[in-house]
Chain A
Amino acid sequence: GDSVTQMEGPVTLSEEAFLTINCTYTATGYPSLFWYVQYPGEGLQLLLKATKADDKGSNKGFEATYRKETTSFHLEKGSVQVSDSAVYFCALSDLGGGAQKLVFGQGTRLTINP
């Protein structure tokens, strides 16, 4: 079945550091890819998405490019802030049957120190 693998956390960085969180996927079809972020005490929020190969999703300084050849969707940010501390989930959506089932990675906890 479909699956998503993320780099294990936790990840701790200093403010203004460059961030990469790796995500690779396995899917039989042509899924859409997502990054969700969960701030402490809140629900998951959609951070960005890409629906086809070579698409780049971007939001709040974060970017991820849908790479079909490497089945990857790595999350990057050039200069992180303390407020970026959260848990990040990579996910894919296979529309099979139109249900839009989301398959999640295990999440990566990110802590940014001032």
Chain B
Amino acid sequence: GAVVSQHPSRVICKSGTSVKIECRSLDFQATTMFWYRQFPKKSLMLMATSNEGSKATYEQGVEKDKFLINHASLTLSTLTVTSAHPEDSSFYICSAREGTSANNEQFFGPGTRLTVL
């Protein structure tokens, strides 16, 4: 099946620094990528949807200047948490979908655990 990787799997950073998380589709071209955030014992919350070459569409309540998303190629999207603070500590998960049809399956990465000290 299709494989999506994330890097790093874990990151610890100091408050005020920025952290970049990469999401790659390894064996297919991801026209659309999604970024989710998961709090402990909570469901995945969609943060934003990005189409290759376009600006990301952010969900209500998600700060676009805080969570910068770049989807410059069909196999790579990045999420940069700018000026991270402890409340940004969370599990971030990306998914990728081939093509533009909403009926196409999303394939998920294994997630990145961010801890901000």
Binding site for B on A (CB under 8 A): 4, 36, 41-46, 89, 93, 95, 98-107
Contacts and interface: CB of A to CB of B under 8 A. Distances in A.
Contacts of B110: 41-43
Q: 8 closest A-B pairs (Cβ-Cβ)?
A: A100-B102, A43-B108, A44-B108, A104-B43, A106-B43, A104-B44, A43-B110, A98-B102
Contacts of A42: 110
B26 to A, nearest CB: 12
Nearest to A9: B41
Interface of B: 1, 4, 6, 34, 41-44, 46, 49, 57, 93, 95, 97, 102-111
A105 B93 CA distance: 15
A20 to B, nearest CB: 20
A6 B42 CA distance: 11
Contacts of A43: 4, 6, 93, 95, 107-111
A100 B93 contact: no
B42 A45 contact: no
8 contacts: A44-B108, A99-B102, A100-B97, A100-B102, A102-B44, A102-B106, A103-B43, A106-B43
Contacts of A89: 43-44
Contacts of A41: 110
